[in-house]
Each structure stands twice: as structure tokens, then as C-alpha cells.
Amino acid sequence: MTEKPALATGIASPPADSAENAAARTRTMLWILLVVYIFNFLDRQIVNILAEPIKTDLGLSDTQLGLLAGPAFAVFYALLGIPIARYADKEGSNRVRLIAVALAIWSAMTAVCGLAQNFVQLLFARIGVGVGEAGCTPAAHSLISDAVAPEKRSSAIAFYGLGVPIGSLLGLIIGGVVNDLYGWRVALMLVGAPGLLLALVVLFFLREPRHFRPAEAHAVAAPTQLSTGAAMREIFASRAFVHILIASSVVAFLGYGKALWTISFFIRSHGLSTTEAGLSMAVVLGLAGVFGTWLGGKMADKFGPRDRKHLLTFPAYGMAVAAPILFLGYYMEDWRVAVALLIIPTILNSAYYGPAYGCVQGLVRPQARAIAASIMLFGQNLIGLGFGPFLFGVLSDALQPVAGQESVRWVLYGAAWLGLIPAFFFWRASLRLKAELKSG
């Protein structure tokens, strides 16, 4: 008995993908997004190692320096992140194109930073960097969550999150070396320009999965769109999400503050050059951060299936252990001992990224994933990057009459012990995961 030929519909359905092809495309996507995120943090954080040369050249105060490193970038990043993420969550949007355009904007503005002749010009250029970077991570998290099984989500997002320590590492090394050889302006232009080429790579080698679904999948399984208000209500109805948001915002506040001022601390209190400080911090913030970010994702995927609360156990207990060790690192007079003591706390404090953002993607429906990530980034950047470097600088200026050259060290003492706050909130969030995490 012969089969009847399929009726012609005028629409060619795309061929079904083999598991191997789908896996290969996912790997390609993850690697390209990782490189994009490396450039994201490279361009964002290179000002940390260039802070002292910029301050000297432009005659800035510590408060102005903190403003450039923090609020100038973070306020616009945070405010634009939510509406951009809302666009990314729409079924007809192209997240790949959004990431490419965002990458081109922030890369161009990073190069423009190197042309600034005064504080105001540099301030507006940093704002431009923040505007561009607002379009990257929420869309990237949404893409990853669509492509990766829930039980592998923490590791996949942690892999993307390796861009944070790797980008910071490269920023410290490239910024320190190039500054010593050619100056801070050349360093900024050097790291900004390649991002324009990378934007073309994103456009040509990534594809938006929504645009390649079979026609019948669109007709049968198209998800119901959520209004902004409905998405917000669903997100904030999760007590686990609120605890993770608080914890991650405090982590960012302390992390961004320490990233900038620990470098200044080693230059001022230990007498290191920008190259020496950059290479030393590259070991701590870079290599240790890479290992910690990777380890956090692996631990979550290994122990989370046994009990969902263990998705956040490692970040919670790790940050509690890190606090006293970090204090000792800032206390030591020998800079080599100080750097060595900062390695373990950096590993433990970096382990939260994959578990935290992986949980956030699992606490909401797919139609709200990008906006959920953007709210996390809103907190991390407005509170963390917006106020961390700035308030650390204000406190340093305020303590100078008492502490003199050691004012930054005193600020870092307090920052070390404040790490107990996110440890507590990650622990509280872990207790809610069994009840609130969704299956998909």
C-alpha cells in the first residue's frame, strides 16, 4: 500500500535538526556569546587599572573617579536594560541582532573614551558605553535558556559568565601594560575597536531560534505573550527571586567597589606600578574568578538535582567563609602575601553567577526570562556598579584626614565583612527553591 504524497502548502518546512547539529549550534552560540561578554567586561572594567593615570592626567578627585567608574555607566545601563529586555522577550524580536547592535555601540564609545580631554567629555563617553552594554546580557541569558536543558542551565550560564573574570583579567593586563608603554588613551582605543568586527561575527554566525521554527510549531506552540505588568507581578511574586536579587545586588556593590579600589590600594599602600598591580590583580580577579565561576556552575548542576536548595548552597556558605580571609588579605603588609590571601575569597565570591542567574531563569516562564535577567542586572548595576566604586571613593576621601594614604585600606576592611550579607540572602533563597522553581 503506497503512501499518499503530502499536500503542497506553499511553505517549505525546515528540515528537522539532528541532535548532533543542535548540540553543535548550541556550542557555537555559547562560545560566541562568551567572547562577546569578555569584550563587555573588558570595555567596562579597563578603567579600573587606568584610574590612577586618568586621575593624574585630568586632575580628578577620588569622588570623580568613582563617578566615572560607577554611576556614569550604571545609571543608563540599568534604566535602559528593562525596556530593552522587554523587547527581547517578544516572540517576534531578533535577539541576535540586538546583541550585535549593542556590541557595536559600546565598543565605539569605549574608543571615544580615549579621545576625552576633560571630566565632562569622559563622563558622557562612559554613559555611551553603558547605553550599549544594556542590550547584551538579558538577551544572551534568554537565548541560552532556550537552547539548554534546565538541568544544565547553571553550567551554561556560568560558562557565559566566565566573560566577567576573563574580561576583567584582560582589562587589567592590557590596560596596565599599554598604559605604561603608550598611555591610557591608547589603551581605551585599542580595546574598543575590535568589538566592531566582533559585531559582524555575531550577525553572520548566530541565528535567532524563533525565526527557524517549523510553521506548525508557531501555530501550535506559540507562547502567550505577557504584558510588562504581568511579567513584573510574576517575577516579584517569587520570594526566592527577591532574595537572590538582594544578594546579587550586594555582591555587585562590594565586587565593583573592590575591583576598582583594590588596585588603587596596591598602588598607594604597597607602591606597585600599574603594570605590577594589573598583573597581580589579574591572578586574583582573573584566574581565580574564572575558576570560581566555573566551579559554582558545576557544583549547582551536580548537587541541585539531589535537592534544589543545593543550587545556592555553595555561594551561600562560600561567601561566609570568604569574609575573614578577605579581611586578612587587606591587613597584610607584604603585598605578595596579600595577593595570595585574596585568591580563595575571589573563588568563593565568584561562584554565585551561574547558580543565581540559572535559578532566576527557572523561576519565571520563558516569556519573562529576559526581563527577569534585566531586573537582576538593574539591581547589580544601579546598586553595585552605580554606587560601589562611587561610595568607596567618597568614604576614602572622608577618611583621608584620619587615615591619610591608608584610607582605601580602611574602606576595604569594612567591605570584607559586608560579604556576610549576601551569604545570608542566598541561604534564605535556597530554602524557597523547591517550592518555586519551574520544571522548564
If you average pLDDT over residues 79-91, what whole number do you get?
83
φ/ψ bin of 271: left (φ > 0), alpha (ψ from -120 to 50), beta (otherwise): left
Question: Residue 6: pLDDT above 70?
Answer: no
45 by DSSP, 3-state: which?
helix
Highest-pLDDT range among 69-83, 166-180, 297-311, 419-433: 419-433
| CB 136, CB 99: distance < 8 Å | yes
pLDDT at 213: 54
Indicate the angle between helix axes 19-58 and 239-270, nearest 10 degrees.
40
Question: Residue 220: pLDDT above 50?
Answer: no
pLDDT at 19: 67
Give the DSSP H or E segment for 157: helix 153-161
pLDDT at 26: 87
Burial 414-432 (b: 16+ CB within 10 A, else e): ebbeebebbbbbbbbbbeb
Question: Residue 227: pLDDT above 80?
Answer: no
Q: Distance between CA atoms of 34 and 38, rounded to whole angstroms?
A: 6
Neighbouring C-beta atoms of residue 145, cutoff 10 Å: 25
**Residues 363-384: tens digit of each pLDDT:** 988 788 888 888 998 888 888 8
CA distances from 64 to 43, 206, 397 (A): 19, 40, 11
Cell of 320: 561566609
Cell of 66: 568613582
Question: Residue 103: pLDDT above 80?
Answer: yes
Neighbouring C-beta atoms of residue 147, cutoff 10 Å: 18
Neighbouring C-beta atoms of residue 209, cutoff 10 Å: 16
Cell of 232: 513584573
Provide the CB-side half-sphere exposure for 9 (13 A, CA).
6
Q: Distance between CA atoms of 303 and 310, rounded to whole angstroms?
A: 6
> pTM for this one?
0.78
**Residues 234-285: tens digit of each pLDDT:** 899 999 999 999 999 999 999 888 877 888 888 888 888 877 877 777 777 7
Q: Distance between CA atoms of 320 and 323, rounded to whole angstroms?
A: 6
- Of residues 76 and 356, the one with the higher pLDDT is 356
**Residues 316-348: tens digit of each pLDDT:** 999 999 999 999 999 998 888 998 999 999 999
CB within 8 A of 100, min separation 6: which ones? Answer: 199, 200, 202, 203
Neighbouring C-beta atoms of residue 276, cutoff 10 Å: 16
Provide the pLDDT confidence category of residue 219 given band limits of 50, 70 and 90.
very low
pLDDT at 96: 92
Question: Residue 160: pLDDT above 90?
Answer: yes
φ/ψ bin of 2: left (φ > 0), alpha (ψ from -120 to 50), beta (otherwise): beta
φ/ψ bin of 65: left (φ > 0), alpha (ψ from -120 to 50), beta (otherwise): alpha
| CB 174, CB 44: distance < 8 Å | no
| CB 168, CB 37: distance < 8 Å | no
If you average pLDDT over residues 138-163, what whole number do you get?
88
φ/ψ of residue 135, rounded to 5: -90, 5
Mean pLDDT of the chain: 85
Residues 186, 189, 190, 193, Cα dihedral to 10°: -160
Question: Residue 3: pLDDT above 50?
Answer: no
